[in-house]
Amino acid sequence: MIKFKKIQYSLVYNRRNTLNQNGEALMQIPKVLLKNSGLEGSQLGDKLRVIYKSEITANSKKLLQYGFDLFHGKIQNNVKNGIIEPAISKIRSIQIATEAAISILRIDDFIVARGTELPPPNA
């Protein structure tokens, strides 16, 4: 979400809104993971967010390998523990979701630009 916020102000409104909504959706993933594991009230989400924010501002990728260990209720280095997620499938999923959101916004813009008048139905 931090990276999204940095670049969204350079975009036009529709693109900025789409980017903001995608960022908000991505921020729900850790919340849902914690909720489903029963660790919703813990500080794990906040701790991981602080780690990511410090690494993004420092332009380091070392701590971006960290994630949740929901069995033990802690944050761990996923790469050291053998948890490697395929980046290509994540990137493609995000691209597809973004393209779908942009298409919906384009359709909405077309409807608004066309006006509220509808042609009479053919009899």
pLDDT at 11 over 80: no
Q: Where are the alpha helices (DSSP H) in the chain?
A: 2-8, 13-37, 44-57, 87-114
Structural domain includes residue 100: no
Length of the chain: 123
Structural domain includes residue 24: yes
Structural domain includes residue 16: yes
DSSP classification of residue 60: -
pLDDT at 106 over 80: yes
pLDDT of residue 120: 64
Structural domain includes residue 96: no
Domain of residue 78 covers 2-83
Alpha-carbon distance of 17 to 12, in angstroms, equals 9
Confidence of residue 26 (pLDDT cuts 50, 70, 90): confident
Confidence of residue 116 (pLDDT cuts 50, 70, 90): low
Average pLDDT, the chain: 76
Q: How far is CA 26 from the centre of its chain?
A: 2
Structural domain includes residue 120: no
Structural domain includes residue 114: no
pLDDT at 2 over 60: no
Structural domain includes residue 102: no
Structural domain includes residue 47: yes
- Overall domain count for the chain: 1
